[in-house]
Amino acid sequence: MALPDSCISGEEVPFPEIIELNVGGQVYITRYSTLTSVPESLLWEMFSRKSNKGLARDTKGRFFVDRDGFLFRYILDFMRDQQLVLPDHFPERGRLQREAEFFNLPELVKLLAPKISKQNSLGEEGCQSDPEDSSPGIDTARNLGSLGAAAAACASMVPGAMDGKRSGFITIGYRGSYTLGRDSQTDAKFRRVARIMVCGKTSLAKEVFGETLNESRDPDRPPERYTSRYYLKFTFLEQAFDKLADAGFHMVACNSTGTCAFAHEQTDDKIWTSYTEYVFYRE
């Protein structure tokens, strides 16, 4: 049985009324009553116990849950009012259904299941990267009218790409700087890459980079729209290249520009800044 918000006479309530959670690196602040609003759910079991000992915490003392921090906001919204409200063109219903199953929320699983079943009529290896809801603004060629049309679209892809992957471009860009000594007699000193930008179709970027893609600057971008505001959570170009190669992309072009920002007054060393782009394509 869930403990009430107020203190019980003679006993210490193990949880405060306001609780801070760290879910996959995302911080949430909510009420104790919200976390215990769905009986028999995982969160209800965690926060209905008589002691908070044994629950994982981060370095700041917040309760830690090792799940998808972005999708947890929809889990928490559902626990507040038992309703499911998703943004238009929401591309991650399958992953959200998996989160609902993990948190033991059967009603939420039911709300997600009908659309999932329609989308996955081809099976688990169908063209899942297509949008789930048709829209007048989406290319009508992607609005497959029947199972046969969907199968034909998958079969028309090149061999080795029969898992529903679609063609498209992804551009990787980064800014860098380096110091060049007088008359180029000394070795150039490079600074590390501060941020790797990702440009391209949202659905392709999420497919390739998954959890390593930072969407905080454009969080609700529809899957069929393009964006240039995503960036990666790591700073090694080789990691980005490996992920693109694993997804079947090949580099087709690259370019770089550089300008001399200023020269050091005492050493005459020149500070150069550059911007480089790599264009990848998958047939």
Residue-wise pLDDT for 197-206, tens only, equals 999 998 899 9
Write down which residue in 97, 112, 127 finishes a domain: 112
194 in the same domain as 99: no
User: What is the mean pLDDT of the segment spanning 261-274?
Assistant: 67
For position 279, what pLDDT does the model report?
93
In angstroms, the CA 167 to CA 244 distance is 13
Last residue of a domain, one of 74, 93, 112: 112
Region of residue 3 (left: phi > 0; alpha: psi -120 to 50; beta: else): beta
Q: What is the pTM of this model?
A: 0.41
Mean pLDDT of 161-189: 70
Taking 60 as the threshold, does the pLDDT of residue 248 lie above it?
yes
**104 lies in the same domain as 22:** yes
In a domain, 45, yes or no: yes
Going by pLDDT thresholds of 50, 70 and 90, the confidence category of residue 169 is very high
Region 14-34: what's the mean pLDDT?
91
- Residue 203 inside a domain? The answer is yes
Q: What is the tally of structural domains in the chain?
A: 2
- Mean of per-residue pLDDT scores for the chain: 76
Q: What is the pLDDT of residues 64-91, one digit of tens each?
A: 999 999 899 999 999 999 888 888 888 8
Cβ density class 42-66: b for 16+ within 10 Å, e for less:
bbbebbbeeeeeeeeeeeeebbbbe
Classify residue 175: in a domain, yes or no.
yes
List the one residue out of 134, 65, 132, 71 whose CA is nearest residue 100.
71
Q: Does residue 242 register a pLDDT over 70? A: yes
Which residue, 243, 233, 242, is CA-closest to 211?
A: 233
219 belongs to a structural domain: yes
Domain membership of residue 37 as a residue range: 18-112
Residues 91 and 173 in one domain: no
Asked if the structure places residue 5 within a domain, the reply is no
Q: Computed from CA positions of residues 110, 114, 120, 123, in that sequence, does the dihedral angle turn out positive or negative?
A: positive
